[in-house]
A and B are shown apart, each in its own frame.
Chain A
Amino acid sequence: MTALELDIRQIEQFLYREARLADEHRYDDWEALWTDDALYWVPAGSDDADPMTRMSVVHDNRNRIATRVKQFNTGRRHSQTPTSRLRRVVSNVEIIDDAGDDLTVEANFVLVESRERGKEIWAGRYTYRLRMVDGDLKMSYKKVALVDNARVLPTMSFLI
C-alpha cells in the first residue's frame, strides 16, 4: 500500500498523532515519524523565502532534527526546561497533490503555549509530505508557515 491509497481519515489520524507527540514533548516518538530524507522547515520573512539563501526560523535536515531531539533529551535545553504546556488544534485538512511519490497534505493549526513567561498563541498552515515506509506512514517534510513569520517572535524552541 502507498500513501496515495490512504483514506483521508487515516491521514488525519497520523496528523493528530504527530501533533499530540509534539504537544506532549514525546521527542523520540516524534522523531520516529520522520523518513531518512526529512526536512523540517519554518520559514521567516514570508511563507516561501528560499531557505538556501534566506534566514529561516527552523531549517532542519534529518541530521539536525536528531541533534535538536538529543538536545531536548539532555534535560538542559533551558528554553524547554521546564517544558512549555502546549495544545494545538489541527484542522482544515486538505489533500493538495497526490501526483508525486509522497502525498502532500495541508492543514491549518492554532496552538496555545503556556509558560511562566506568559501565554502565546501560535497559528499558521502546515504542509506535510507523507510516505509509506515498510508498512508505516512517515513524514518526509513538514513546513510550518506561521501567520506572523515576518514579525517579531518570542522564543519558540518547542516542536511546532
Chain B
Amino acid sequence: MSPSYDELIRSDRVHGSLYTSPEIFADELARIWYSSWVYVGHVSEIANPGDYVRKNIGPQDVIMSRSADGEVHLLLNRCAHRGNLVCEADAGNSSSFRCPYHGWTYRNSGELLGYPFPEGYGGRGKLDLGLGRVPRMAVHQGFVFGSFAPDGISLAEHLGDAAGEIDRLVHLSPEGEIEISAGWLKHRARANWKLLAENETDGYHPQFVHASIFSVAESGIGALYSEKSEAVTRAFGHGHSENDLRPEFRRLGTPLGWFGTTEERMPDYVAAMRGAYGEAAQEILVEGAPHVMIFPNLFIAEIQMFTIQPLAHDLTVQHVTAVQLKGAPEMNRRMLQQCVGSVGPAGLLLADDTEMYERNQVGVAELRPEWLDVRRGAHREYVDERGLTVGGATDETAMRGFWSHYRDVMA
C-alpha cells in the first residue's frame, strides 16, 4: 500500500523516506516515469532515414529511430516473440531490427516484417505482432518527448512556460537549431534521482560544493549564486524550474559575457548571429543560455545537456553531453572543451556534485531528524507578471515547485 504523500510532502519540508523507499520508487515509476512526459532524445541524433539510437525512460530501453518516410519512432527494445533484446548497438543505421534469438525481423518503424519457418504459424504475415511502442510522442524544437500514458495533457501543456527556455537555447544558433552530436558520458550516482533533480536548480550549493574550482579558476560563476546576486530562481509549474541568470548578464551587458568570452574572440559566430537575428541578436548574445530543469529528467545547464535515468531508489545514471549549435563551429569547439572539463566522472564540477549526491543518500537514511528542510527563501518569494513564483538566487523556490508537482502526481 502506498504511503500518504500529502503527509510526506509539506510546504516547508519533505520526508526522508521519499529518497530511501523501494516502494515509493515503484510508485514513481508508475505515476511519473510511465505516465508523464519524459525527455527521450533529440532529432539531430537520428538525422537520416534508418538512423537509430538507444535511449531510455527510466529503466525502459527505448529505441529512437527514423524510418524511411522521415518519421521518428519510440520503440521498446523487446522482441514480440520471447522478449529478447532486438537491438544491441548504442546507435547505427538500419532499415530493420533482427532478433538474434529466433530471427524475427522488424521494420525500423516497429512492424513485424517476418519470422523464419513461417509454416509453424500457418504461413507468412499471420501474426498481429510488432515491437512495443511508447504510446505518445511529441517534439518541441527538435527535443523528443515520450509518454507511456495513452491519454493526458499535451506536451505544450506539460512544458508550459519552461518551453520558452528551450526556445532561448536554440536561438543561440544562427540557424535556430541545436545538434546533439558529441556523444555521451554516463556517470553513475548511488543516489536517488530526486537528489539530482533538486540540485540542478539549487542556487545555494555552488559556493560550497564548487568553491575549490571557483577559487582556482577565478570563475565568476560563484558570484551569480550569492545573496548579492540579482539572479532569481523561478518555478514554472509542472515541476520545472530555472536559475534565471539574465539579470546578472544584463548588468554585465556584453555579448558572450555569460560564456566568459567576448565578441572579438568569436567574430564569425557573432556576425552569423547578427545576420540571422538582426537587432534581436544583441539581447540573445547578452542574455546567454538557460539553466533549466524540465521535470522529471531533462536539465539544460547553459552549454551542457543532462538527462537523469533512475534505475532504483538508490541508483541513478546521469547522461551528459555538450550542446552544439548548428552553424556555429567556433562556439562549438569551445563549448565542447568547456563541457568536458566540467562534467562527468572526472569533471571539475560534476564529480563533486555526485560526491554530494552519494553522501546525501547515505545521510538521509539516518533515522533522525526524519525530514529535509526546503523552506529557504519562502518568506521572500513573489509572483511575477507571468504568474510564476520567483525567489532569490540562493532560495529553494525550485525545490518547492518540484515537490508541489510531485505531490500532485503521486497523491
Contacts and interface: CB of A to CB of B under 8 A. Distances in A.
Interface of A: 42, 44-45, 49, 51-60, 64, 67-68, 70-71, 74-79, 117, 150-157, 160
Nearest to B355: A79
B61 interface: no
Contacts of B339: 55
A84 to B, nearest CB: 11
Contacts of A42: 346
A44 B343 CA distance: 12
B345 A153 contact: yes
Contact of B181 (A53, A151, A156): A53
B344 A57 contact: yes
A104 to B, nearest CB: 24
Interface in B120-138: none
Interface residues of B, number: 38
Contacts of B341: 59-60, 64
Contact of B317 (A45, A76, A152): A152
A76 B346 contact: no
Interface string B352-366: 101110100000000
B409 interface: no
Contacts of A151: 186
Contact of B216 (A51, A52, A71, A150): A71
Contacts of A70: 216
Contacts of B405: none
28 contacts: A44-B183, A51-B340, A52-B333, A53-B336, A54-B182, A54-B183, A55-B339, A55-B344, A57-B344, A57-B346, A58-B346, A59-B340, A71-B212, A71-B213, A71-B348, A74-B211, A74-B216, A79-B351, A117-B190, A152-B317, A153-B187, A154-B187, A155-B187, A155-B188, A155-B351, A157-B345, A157-B351, A160-B346
Nearest to B211: A76
Nearest to B91: A45
A32 B153 CA distance: 59
A8 to B, nearest CB: 30
B183 A45 contact: yes
Nearest to B339: A55
